[in-house]
Amino acid sequence: MRIAYIIPSLYRMAPNRVVQQLVEGMMARGHECHVFYFDPVTTDAIAFPCRATRISLLRATDLTGYDVVHTHGLRPNLYVWIHGVPRGVRAVATIHSYVFEEFRFIYGRVLGWVFGHLFVRTLSRHDRVVTLSRDAVAHYAHWIRPSRLTYCYNGVEEPTVDVPPDADDCRRIREHKGDGVLVANICFFDKIKGLDVLIRALASLPAHYRLLLIGNGAEDGALQQLAQRLCPGRVLFLGRRPRASRYLSLVDVFAQTSWSEGFCLSMAEAALTHTPIVSSDIPGMREKYGADEVTYFPAGDAPALAAALREAVGDEAKADRAYRKVVSQFGVEQMITRYETIYQG
């Protein structure tokens, strides 16, 4: 097959990493791939092993000859909605989150509802819409015809040691942890990630509990102020790091605190390092991991999160079961096979 992937930019972020895995996997199986993107290239760009061409949202690009056009994100979906695809080309879209919930946190209840409906509207010309869980299929069936919906779990790679983590970062993390318990989260810092709940939970735990946050985002300043007020010196904001999962071997507990999640790659990466996991009890996670694999707490409940963190420390049995779940069900090859079936279907 000839497959065109349309993404907003080449910026190194989780959805684009999924596209990189798809391109690598499809090319390894003999398919031809081409990546199209809108934004200028930055220094922190993903290198795709195929042609990558910048295009304009408002100017149609000739996609004749491709078998599949696969879009990821609002603007790529909007591109297909505006220009369509050539006759005989199948259009596939992947939704990486629960957009109504995501937009509500960003824009408020009313505008979130409006933008959520606009997002769904941009999918009206796609032949197939892929979500990241069966629960998300049921969720979007309120707005998208069920026969056009399907799901595919993301693929997660086993950690590699070909590029070791930064030595200075490791030193800072070890000094920050000391002889205590180190809790960590890796994500983009926005309100839906619930990092404020994690900081409030830390404040109620003994002083030897420390927190490592890897990432950045719109809430960075507010979170640093909250940490300084509630638990000064106990939160290390490391900043954004490529391949941040390399630091998880230094961590005692991974805390996934989002109010809503599609898949959470960093949580699956934590499982691959045998790190015990605490997770907010939300549908997207419950479908993928059982209570015997991760320790759940009600989303937004800081006291319950603090108790869950205490419970999870040293729980090697749950960590081992979570590892086996990721290896058996969330492998990259399984994702490639699933998408290949979707493209050919």
State the average pLDDT over residues 19-46: 95
214 bridge partner residues? 186, 239
What is residue 320's predicted lDDT score, i.e. its pLDDT?
97
- The pLDDT tens digits of the residues spanning 113-166 come to 999 999 999 999 999 999 999 999 999 999 999 999 999 999 998 776 667 889
The predicted model gives 262-290 an average pLDDT of: 95
**pTM over 0.75, yes/no:** yes
User: Contact 96/132 with Cβ under 8 angstroms?
Assistant: yes
Note the helical H segments in 122-210.
134-140, 167-177, 195-203
Whole-number pLDDT of residue 220: 95
Determine the Cα–Cα distance for residues 184 and 317; give it in Å rounded to an integer.
Answer: 19
Q: What is the pLDDT of residue 327?
A: 94
Lowest mean pLDDT among 12-16, 17-21, 205-209: 12-16
pLDDT of residue 160: 66
pLDDT at 162: 66
pLDDT tens digits for range 178-206: 999 999 999 999 999 999 999 999 999 99
Three-state secondary-structure class, residue 66: coil
Place of tokens 């699956």: 268
Q: Give me the mean pLDDT over the 21-34 stretch.
A: 98
The pLDDT of 45-50, averaged and rounded, is: 94
Q: Would you tell me the crossing angle of helices 74-83 and 109-121 to the nearest 10 degrees?
A: 50
CB 255 within 8 A of CB 184: yes
Q: Which helix (H) or strand (E) holds 93?
A: strand 90-94
pLDDT band, very low/low/confident/very high, at 42 (cuts 50, 70, 90):
confident
